[in-house]
């Protein structure tokens, strides 16, 4: 707070002319030193700022803070329920810093406040529209990514469906052979001398290779069951991954489960040229929006795969450091040049050929992790590969755990 003491002696240049001008000026005038000591304060300044107990109130403290931080300054400042325009100029004299402040009360400040409130409401509406657009963009990018993966997912489903269908054909033949043997046994049971039917039964068993059927049938059923479970898992992971999360709230989940479901969805995009290595540490359940984090894992894994030429490796690692956990994706791809690395999180920036990338994957990933109060670190060396490490807090701030 500036201390008003006009009777004190202050080391300053002679100011009789400035004092006279200050009293004639319709604006408030104040001259003060960097330690807050006031040399000149016009009567209008004192009236405008309503002094009490020898101290200037309101704008003077703000001006002193602005003086110390910016030197010269121009703008509007609130004084109680009013708003004033203030102009602050820095002057150096005798090794000390002096500041000259001119203050002018804005006429019709009620209209000014009304305009501020209107602008605030407009900005809030714009923010809500932007937030809604961002959510739609996130879902659009997610569905676009799933669209690109649809052929791979169909291939992953067709494989187990194919051998389940083949096994069902074999099972039909096996059942026909088994029923033939059962009918032979029934005829023997009704024959006067069942032992006479044994040669015929043995001939049927040998011709239909019943011994092989009894060995192969359990394996056939186990393979079919595994195929159906594989399809069920893919469909479940795809459903969880594509869920928009609207209205969802933060909940505690296992990051490794989300990583595995994402790998399961995109594996067809990677398996022909990537050796995937998992180095998972023991992690606590963390508060997050799992469907959104799955989007991040997919973007980073696909980018790592695209950076690899004919053959390469991706290492997925996890760990914990205090109240933060991290998930790291390291690839042996082509790497990213230094001038490009600083732009990888910019919206619509992509190094992929035209038509093969939207440039939104990393930008959306950055927004999602920022929303989770985390960060993404990236390191890359051209010709050696890149490493993206995602940091996430174990516990979200209280203000964010109740809403997405």
CATH number reported for the structural domain that contains residue 375 in this entry: 3.30.565.10
Residue 333 phi/psi, 5-degree rounding, is -80, -155
| 243: number of Cβ within 10 Å | 15
Rounded to whole angstroms, the Cα distance separating 265 from 260 reads 9
Do residues 88 and 134 both lie within one domain? no
Q: In the predicted model, is pLDDT for residue 110 greater than 60? A: no
Do residues 307 and 395 both lie within one domain? yes
| DSSP sequence for 186-212 | HHHHHSSSGGGGHHHHHHHHHHTTHHH
* Least confidently predicted of 5-9, 205-209, 235-239, 245-249: 5-9
Tracing tokens 């732009």 back to the chain, one arrives at: 343
Find the mean pLDDT for residues 5-25: 57
Let me know if residue 319 belongs to a domain.
Answer: yes
Do residues 47 and 152 both lie within one domain? no
Do residues 84 and 136 both lie within one domain? no
Is the alpha carbon torsion for 332, 334, 337, 341 positive or negative?
negative
Let me know if residue 258 belongs to a domain.
Answer: no
Do residues 234 and 158 both lie within one domain? yes
Let me know if residue 356 belongs to a domain.
Answer: yes
Do residues 64 and 137 both lie within one domain? no
Residues 6+ apart with CB under 8 A from 292: 138, 245, 368, 371, 372
| 212: number of Cβ within 10 Å | 11
Q: What is the pTM of this model?
A: 0.50
Structural domains in the chain (count)? 3
What is the percent of the chain where pLDDT is above 90?
Answer: 16
Let me know if residue 7 belongs to a domain.
Answer: no
Higher pLDDT, 245 or 288: 288
pLDDT grade, residue 99 (50/70/90)?
A: confident
pLDDT of residue 150: 65
Higher pLDDT, 72 or 251: 251
Q: Which of 194, 223, 242 is the last residue of a domain?
A: 242
Do residues 161 and 66 both lie within one domain? no
Rounded to whole angstroms, the Cα distance separating 397 from 271 reads 39
Q: Are 325 and 318 in contact (CB under 8 A)?
A: yes
**Interstrand relation of 385-393 and 375-381 (parallel, antiparallel or unpaired):** antiparallel
Do residues 77 and 147 both lie within one domain? no
Let me know if residue 2 belongs to a domain.
Answer: no
pLDDT of residue 57: 42
Residue ranges making up the domain that contains 363:
271-400
Let me know if residue 262 belongs to a domain.
Answer: no
Let me know if residue 82 belongs to a domain.
Answer: yes
Segment (H or E) for 150: helix 109-190
Do residues 233 and 343 both lie within one domain? no
Do residues 356 and 313 both lie within one domain? yes
Let me know if residue 10 belongs to a domain.
Answer: no
Higher pLDDT, 83 or 52: 83
Do residues 286 and 352 both lie within one domain? yes
């Amino acid at each position: 707070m500036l201390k008003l003491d006009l009777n004190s002696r202050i080391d300053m240049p002679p100011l009789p002319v400035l004092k006279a001008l200050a009293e004639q000026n319709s604006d408030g005038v104040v001259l003060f030193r960097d330690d807050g000591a006031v040399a000149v304060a016009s009567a209008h300044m004192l009236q405008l700022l309503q002094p009490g107990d020898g101290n200037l109130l309101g704008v003077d403290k703000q001006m002193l803070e602005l003086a110390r931080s910016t030197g010269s300054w121009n703008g509007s400042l609130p004084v109680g329920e009013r708003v004033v325009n203030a102009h602050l100029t820095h002057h150096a004299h005798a090794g000390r810093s002096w500041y000259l402040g001119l203050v002018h009360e804005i006429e019709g400040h009620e209209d000014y406040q009304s305009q501020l409130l209107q602008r605030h409401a407009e900005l809030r509406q714009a923010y809500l529209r932007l937030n809604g657009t961002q959510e739609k963009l996130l879902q659009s990018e997610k569905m676009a990514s799933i669209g690109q993966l649809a052929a791979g997912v169909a291939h992953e489903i067709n494989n187990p469906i194919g051998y389940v269908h083949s096994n069902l054909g074999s099972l039909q033949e096996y059942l026909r052979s088994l029923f033939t043997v059962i009918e032979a046994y029934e005829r023997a049971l009704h024959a006067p001398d069942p032992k006479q039917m044994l040669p015929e039964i043995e001939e049927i068993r040998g011709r239909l290779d019943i011994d092989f059927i009894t060995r192969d049938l359990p394996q056939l059923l186990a393979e079919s069951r595994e195929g159906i479970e594989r399809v069920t898992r893919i469909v479940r992971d795809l459903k969880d991954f594509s869920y928009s999360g609207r209205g969802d709230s933060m909940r505690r989940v296992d990051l490794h489960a989300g990583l595995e479901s994402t790998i399961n969805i995109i594996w067809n995009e990677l398996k022909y040229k990537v050796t995937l290595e998992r180095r998972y540490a023991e992690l606590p359940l963390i508060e997050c929006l799992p469907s959104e984090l799955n989007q991040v894992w997919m973007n980073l894994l696909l980018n790592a795969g695209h950076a690899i030429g004919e053959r390469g490796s991706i290492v997925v690692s996890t760990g914990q450091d205090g109240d933060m956990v991290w998930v790291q994706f390291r690839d042996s791809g082509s790497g990213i040049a230094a001038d490009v690395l600083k732009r990888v999180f910019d919206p619509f920036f992509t190094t992929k050929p035209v038509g093969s990338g939207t440039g939104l994957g990393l930008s959306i990933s950055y927004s999602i992790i920022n929303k989770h109060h985390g960060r993404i670190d990236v390191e890359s060396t051209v010709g050696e590969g890149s490493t993206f490490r995602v940091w996430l807090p174990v516990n979200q701030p209280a203000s964010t755990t109740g809403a997405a």
